[in-house]
């Protein structure tokens, strides 16, 4: 179902994205050690990588919200369990890994345990290609972030049968996490293949909505479809949100838009006051460094130090919220207008 709000997990559930799938197939079949899947939030990265992994041997790991080592190993176990039919043979006989009907258990402490690194080394020894997908890896905090970075670098250099696919919404932060441009990073200077997940064109958005509504047995007025295509700017996650809400009975499109804006507002809560002030200024039309500075000063009576302003704008760009003083997602622009810092 296209309007299922969970990430899609098989190629047959995926709308379009044939080029991206082909690119991933090619990268992995050519034995590329590391591929990045980049795109803003809700653009369909998780769906793409999960669908890609669908029929292949590998492990999907969601790094969001992982702050303790125990959680990391739980996620590893869950990921292996969900692709057990394809990976079981590779895992058999690995110390510290056991199967039951209920799941895969990875013992990571004490005797007969295995580290994540050890697990990958064992899998690599089996001599068959194995794909490790890590989603939103830039969200990890120390010390796990450094461990994962080292693991990725080690695998890149030494584990020829492991293909890493790393995806993330905060594109600048992800690149800086990996540190391919940073001489002190273990991944410095490594070649990284990038797959960019882009928004749908107007035509594709329209097709997506019409097809999705057909599955729901609905045919909304053409005007409603056009409005949604306009408002949600080809971001598939918002198109799904719209389609699902409409199909569930909310027929007022501005109401659905407001619900989407409120979701974005929730996500913006994690930002600090200065970041919010600056985003609000950009949302209100300040389209250059000096305009942001003077608008903040005018409206709030705060003169931001030059270096502070530069640093914060850089960070907001690294988080893929804005680029060149424009929002990458119109829903976020609207949400930032509503911020009350």
Ligand X SMILES: Nc1ncnc2c1ncn2[C@@H]1O[C@H](COP(=O)(O)OP(=O)(O)O)[C@@H](O)[C@H]1O
Interface residues with ligand X (CB under 6 A) are 2, 4-8, 14-17, 39, 41-47, 169, 236-237, 240
| Nearer CB in complex with ligand X: 41/149 | 41
Dist CA 284 CA 222 (whole Å): 31
State the nearest-atom distance from the C-beta of 244 to ligand X, in Å. 8
State the nearest-atom distance from the C-beta of 167 to Mg ion, in Å. 7
| Nearer CB in complex with Mg ion: 64/206 | 64
Cβ-based neighbours of 171, under 8 Å, separated by 6 or more:
38, 39, 40, 318, 320
Structure tokens at 248: 């569930």
Partner from ligand X, Mg ion, none binding residue 244, C-beta < 5-8 Å depending on class: none
Neighbour tally for 21: CB within 10 Å? 18
Instruction: Quote the strand ranges of 39-188, DSSP E.
Output: 58-62, 97-100, 103-106, 130-135, 162-168
> Residues 17 to 56: which contact Mg ion by CB under 5 A?
46
Partner from ligand X, Mg ion, none binding residue 15, C-beta < 5-8 Å depending on class: ligand X
Q: How many residues bind Mg ion (CB under 5 A)?
A: 1
State the nearest-atom distance from the C-beta of 65 to Mg ion, in Å. 12
| Nearer CB in complex with ligand X: 95/196 | 196
State the nearest-atom distance from the C-beta of 265 to ligand X, in Å. 17
Cβ-based neighbours of 59, under 8 Å, separated by 6 or more:
76, 79, 80, 83, 87, 130, 131, 132, 133
| Nearer CB in complex with ligand X: 7/77 | 7
CA distances from 143 to 37, 146, 148 (A): 24, 6, 9
| Nearer CB in complex with Mg ion: 46/124 | 46
**Is the distance from CB of 105 to CB of 98 less than 8 angstroms?**
yes
- Nearest residue to ligand X, scored by beta-carbon proximity: 44
| Nearer CB in complex with ligand X: 25/160 | 25
Partner from Mg ion, ligand X, none binding residue 300, C-beta < 5-8 Å depending on class: none
| Order of strands across the sheet that contains 34-38 | 58-62, 130-135, 162-168, 34-38, 193-196
State the nearest-atom distance from the C-beta of 138 to Mg ion, in Å. 12
Partner from ligand X, Mg ion, none binding residue 21, C-beta < 5-8 Å depending on class: none
| Nearer CB in complex with ligand X: 3/108 | 3
Q: Is 9 in the site for Mg ion (CB under 5 A)?
A: no
CA atoms within 13 A on the CB side of 252: 4
Opening angle at CA 290, ends 285 and 293, nearest 5: 80
Structure tokens at 172: 């600048």
- In 3D, which of 325, 25, 15 has the Cα closest to residue 165? 25
Partner from Mg ion, ligand X, none binding residue 17, C-beta < 5-8 Å depending on class: ligand X
State the nearest-atom distance from the C-beta of 318 to ligand X, in Å. 17
Beta bridge partner(s), residue 36: 166, 194
- Binding positions for Mg ion, rule: CB under 5 A: 46
């Amino acid at each position: 179902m296209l309007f299922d709000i969970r990430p899609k997990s098989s190629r047959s559930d995926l709308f379009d994205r044939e080029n991206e799938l082909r690119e991933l197939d090619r990268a992995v079949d050519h034995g590329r050690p590391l591929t990045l899947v980049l795109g803003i939030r809700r653009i369909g990265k998780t769906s793409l990588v999960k669908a890609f992994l669908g029929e292949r041997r590998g492990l999907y790991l969601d790094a969001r919200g992982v702050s303790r080592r125990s959680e990391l190993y739980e996620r590893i176990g869950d990921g292996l369990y969900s692709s057990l039919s394809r990976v079981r043979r590779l895992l058999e006989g690995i110390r510290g890994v056991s199967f039951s009907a209920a799941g895969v258990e990875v013992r990571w402490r004490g005797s007969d345990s295995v580290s994540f690194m050890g697990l990958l080394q064992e899998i690599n020894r089996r001599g068959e290609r194995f794909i490790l997908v890590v989603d939103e890896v830039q969200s990890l905090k120390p010390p796990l972030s450094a461990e994962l970075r080292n693991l990725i670098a080690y695998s890149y250099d030494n584990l020829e049968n492991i293909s890493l696919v790393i995806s993330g919404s905060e594109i600048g932060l992800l690149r800086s996490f990996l540190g391919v441009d940073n001489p002190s990073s273990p991944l410095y200077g490594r070649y990284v293949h990038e797959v960019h997940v882009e928004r749908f064109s107007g035509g594709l958005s329209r097709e997506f909505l019409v097809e999705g509504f057909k599955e729901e047995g609905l045919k909304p007025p053409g005007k409603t479809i056009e409005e949604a295509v306009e408002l949600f700017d080809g971001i598939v996650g918002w198109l799904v949100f719209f389609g699902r809400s409409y199909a569930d009975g909310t027929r007022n499109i501005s109401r659905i838009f407001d619900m989407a804006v409120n979701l974005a507002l929730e996500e913006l809560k994690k930002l600090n006051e200065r970041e919010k002030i600056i985003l609000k200024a950009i949302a209100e039309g300040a389209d250059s460094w000096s305009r942001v500075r003077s608008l903040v000063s005018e409206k709030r009576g705060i003169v931001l130090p030059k270096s502070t302003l530069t640093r914060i704008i850089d960070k907001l760009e690294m988080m893929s919220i804005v680029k060149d003083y424009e929002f990458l997602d119109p829903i976020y622009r609207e949400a930032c207008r509503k911020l009350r810092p």
